[in-house]
C-alpha cells in the first residue's frame, strides 16, 4: 500500500485565497449603515411610464429621484431648496409681492374701463 504524504502534494492558492475579500465574513448591514452610504454617495432612480393605445401615446410620466445628503447635492450643483419660498422662509415676501401685483393689475384694468 502506498502512503500519501502531505509534503508531496503541491498546494496552490485557490480563487478564494487570492481574493481580497476572502477574510471578510458577510455581515448584515443595518439600516443606519445603508442610509449613511446612500446619503454619502447618492443614488439616482429613474424610470419612464408610457400609456399607449393602438400605438398612440396617451400619457408619459418621467420619474427621476435623487437621494443624497444636502452636502453631496450641493457638490453636484443642486440647491433648489435655497430659492424655494416655501422652504427658505421667504413665503411672506412672495405673498406680499403677489398682493401688490394683483393691486396694480386691478388699477390698470380700472383705467382701461
Q: What does the pLDDT look like over 55-104, one tens digit per residue?
A: 888 999 998 888 888 888 888 888 877 777 677 666 677 788 889 999 99
Cβ atoms within 10 Å, residue 23: 8
CB contact at 8 A, 58 and 51: yes
Q: How confident is the model at residue 4 (pLDDT cuts 50, 70, 90)?
A: very low
C-alpha cell at 57: 401615446
Radius of gyration of the chain (CA): 32
SS3 content of the chain, % helix, strand, coil (to 5): 45, 20, 35
Reduced to 3 states, what is the DSSP secondary structure of residue 21?
coil
Measured CA to CA, the distance from residue 4 to residue 42 in angstroms comes to: 57
Q: Is the whole model's pTM more than 0.75, yes or no?
A: no
Amino acid at each position: 500500500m502506498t502512503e500519501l504524504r502531505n509534503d508531496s502534494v503541491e498546494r496552490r492558492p485557490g480563487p478564494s485565497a487570492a481574493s481580497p475579500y476572502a477574510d471578510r465574513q458577510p455581515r448584515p448591514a443595518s439600516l443606519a449603515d445603508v442610509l449613511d452610504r446612500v446619503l454619502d454617495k447618492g443614488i439616482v432612480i429613474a424610470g419612464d411610464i408610457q400609456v399607449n393605445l393602438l400605438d398612440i401615446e396617451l400619457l408619459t410620466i418621467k420619474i427621476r429621484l435623487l437621494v443624497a445628503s444636502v452636502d453631496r447635492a450641493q457638490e453636484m450643483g443642486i440647491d433648489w431648496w435655497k430659492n424655494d419660498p416655501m422652504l427658505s422662509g421667504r413665503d411672506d415676501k412672495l405673498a406680499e409681492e403677489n398682493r401688490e401685483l394683483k393691486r396694480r393689475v386691478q388699477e390698470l384694468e380700472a383705467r382701461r374701463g
